[in-house]
């Protein structure tokens, strides 16, 4: 199968519970709508992080200002926790990965994407998966991953597993039988696992390889070599619980679609970090999207027949 089936496309999930999930979002069934006094906003770090809330604090402050609600942030360990929390009505606003959003919808979670993370102003809300090797490795492409110990991020990660799985299949490598997989739990851990020799090769999102780890002094330029890049994956979405009151959903959507970006933050003194970014991935902001934006991810799921596409 060629790579044209993942053109113009649209990260993770599996086990631990959200910490101290409250009841402000409870009552998500039936035809009535909710206008709670407190909104619960959940997200998963793209790397090992102990203070994700600080990265999202500017967005949290803006949501509180524009909605008049208290916003309680919940840092989850994986997207499975976010999926189940939103399914049970304990999360109002969820920062998903593309695959985890598709899984949430497929498994009946009543939620809808309104915006996606945007790396650069004027760009496209998307990112790429990289296949990497340690510097000096003889592996030059995905075909060379056969027989190797391979670092992935998580079985429910879009750029850390689903798209890599598709790439391996396209290169004639069976990800179920031809490699030894290692699930590292984070994009940073996957890259560092390759750099340290824990894995022969691996996969991670582009920004972790190109920018973040180098900026933080955890990786030197040239420590790893990128031997494969996926086509564009649709950006990670923010999705709202469908049963929120329409007027409230409109206010939240306006925050993400128009105001949650570096330019607005700088103009309104909302910056909470040196680079004035909106999340832990260093993105410029968000762009408006809808559910159909993730149809390309659904198509990759159909092609790979991955069980991770249908199981939360």
Who's near 265: CB < 8 A, 6+ residues apart? 58, 271, 276, 278
How would residue 136 be classed by pLDDT, with cut points 50, 70 and 90? very high
Task: Output the pLDDT for position 31.
Answer: 60
pLDDT digits (tens, 9 = 90+) for 202-223: 999 999 999 999 999 999 999 9
pLDDT surpassing 80 at residue 46: no
Measure the CA–CA gap between 53 and 74, rounded to whole angstroms.
Answer: 8
Better pLDDT: 303 or 222: 222
In three-state secondary structure terms, 309 is helix
pLDDT of residue 47: 64
Mean pLDDT confidence for 2-21: 32
Q: Give the Å distances, CA to CA, from 131 to 106, 152, 167, 190, 264.
A: 28, 10, 9, 10, 35
* Torsion over CA: 56, 58, 61, 63 (sign): negative
Residue 309 or residue 22, greater confidence:
309
Q: Angle at CA 73, nearest 5°, toward 69 and 79?
A: 130
pLDDT, average across residues 162-182: 96
More confident: 193 or 28: 193
The CA-CA-CA angle for residues 125, 126, 129, to 5°, reads: 170
pLDDT of residue 139: 98
Within 10 angstroms of residue 311's Cβ, the number of other Cβ atoms is: 14
- The C-alpha angle 283, 285, 288, rounded to 5 degrees, equals 130
CB 92 within 8 A of CB 241: yes
pLDDT digits (tens, 9 = 90+) for 235-284: 999 999 999 999 999 999 999 999 999 999 999 999 988 888 899 888 99
**CA proximity to 179, closest of 204, 214, 154, 152:** 152
Q: What is the pLDDT of residue 295?
A: 94
The pLDDT of 23-33, averaged and rounded, is 53
Rounded Cα distance, 127 and 134, in Å: 22
172-to-115, 163, 167, 204, 307 alpha-carbon distances in Å = 35, 14, 9, 20, 19
CA angle, residues 266, 268, 269, in degrees to nearest 5: 65
Gap between the Cα atoms of 203 and 222, Å rounded: 16
């Amino acid at each position: 199968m060629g790579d044209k089936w993942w053109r113009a496309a649209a990260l993770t999930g599996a086990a631990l519970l959200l910490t101290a999930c409250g009841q402000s979002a409870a009552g998500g069934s039936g035809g009535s709508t909710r206008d709670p006094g407190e909104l619960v906003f959940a997200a998963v770090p793209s790397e090992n992080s102990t203070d994700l809330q600080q990265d999202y604090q500017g967005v949290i402050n803006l949501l509180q200002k524009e909605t008049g609600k208290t916003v309680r942030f919940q840092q989850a360990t994986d997207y499975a926790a976010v999926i189940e929390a939103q399914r049970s009505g304990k999360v109002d606003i969820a920062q998903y990965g593309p695959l985890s959003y598709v899984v949430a919808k497929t498994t009946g979670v009543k939620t809808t994407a309104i915006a996606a993370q945007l790396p650069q102003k004027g760009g496209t809300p998307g990112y790429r998966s990289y296949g990497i090797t340690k510097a000096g490795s003889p592996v030059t492409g995905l075909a060379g991953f056969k027989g190797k110990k391979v670092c992935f991020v998580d079985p429910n990660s879009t750029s850390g597993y689903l798209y890599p799985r598709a790439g391996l299949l396209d290169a004639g490598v069976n990800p179920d039988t031809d490699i030894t997989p290692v699930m590292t739990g984070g994009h940073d851990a996957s890259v560092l696992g390759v750099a340290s020799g824990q894995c022969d090769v691996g996969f991670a999102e582009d920004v972790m390889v190109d920018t973040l780890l180098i900026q933080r002094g955890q990786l030197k330029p040239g420590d790893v070599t990128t031997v494969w890049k996926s086509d564009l994956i649709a950006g990670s979405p923010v999705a709202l619980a469908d049963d929120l009151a329409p007027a409230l959903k409109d206010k939240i959507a306006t925050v993400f679609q128009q105001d949650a970006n570096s330019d607005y933050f700088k103009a309104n003194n909302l910056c909470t970090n040196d680079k004035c970014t909106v999340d832990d991935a260093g993105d410029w902001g968000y762009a408006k999207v809808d559910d159909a934006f993730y149809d390309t991810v659904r198509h990759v799921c159909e092609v790979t027949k991955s069980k991770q596409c249908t199981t939360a």
